[in-house]
Amino acid sequence: MGDKPRYKRILLKLSGESLMGPGKFGIDPATVTQICGQIKRLYDSGIEIGIVIGGGNIFRGLKASESGMDRVTADNMGMMATVINSLAFQDALEQIGIQTRVMSAIRVDTFAEKYIRRRAVRHLEKGRIIIMAAGTGNPFFTTDTAASLRAVEIDAEIILKATRVKGVYSADPEKDAGAEFYPEVSYLDVLVKDLKVMDAASIALCRENNLPILVFDLKVPDNLYRAGMGEQVGTLVH
């Protein structure tokens, strides 16, 4: 792969768990710094970057609701967790010289701008990375759905879905040694086979808008950079 990127604009979807590093909870600064270093390589190549980060390293709304908490309250708390993660990423990116804006689907004016699509696109055009926090701003929707929605809204050409495994498998490879790896898979197969790439609403939205998803292992050095430049380093869902 040459130095010329394949994509002009991408959306990177990170799980909250990817920020934990070797820990079991919270944010590991060294891990965030390492991820931001890869993001900077993409940024320096001229790619416009939007980011959506989950909040599972701090609080998982669905899990809390299953334990008896009101679902709406739990999801609202999960949205706040994504704001915390987004602010951590903003700080790390700005420490390495990248102009960044956190845009939130809920009102937290002291910390972040309100998400407005046209303003988000303008930030990208001006060379700023945008981190879109608080999911869709509504309970009952995951940050995967938010990633698909925001990617469509900002006209991203692909979603880069960072995971801790090589890509998409027929079963969980961390639990089933015989799970089959798929280098490519269709949206329909993801839904029919329940392959757990992203939730069904996310996949349906990508399918309706012909938006591909590249699922890759974030732990492999340079995988994020290679994926952003257009290499198929994991599984392509299209």
Phi, psi of 103 (to 5 degrees): -120, 125
pLDDT per residue over 116-174, tens digit each? Answer: 999 999 999 999 999 999 999 999 999 999 999 999 999 999 999 999 889 999 988 88
Global pTM value: 0.94
Q: What is the band of 4 on the pLDDT scale with cuts at 50, 70, 90?
A: confident
Domains and CATH numbers, the chain: 9-237 (3.40.1160.10)
Q: Say how many Å lie between the first and final Cα of the chain, rounded.
A: 21
Q: What is the pLDDT of residue 67?
A: 81
- Residue 46 dihedral angles phi and psi, to the nearest 5°: 105, 5
Task: Report which secondary-structure segment, H or E, holds 136.
Answer: none
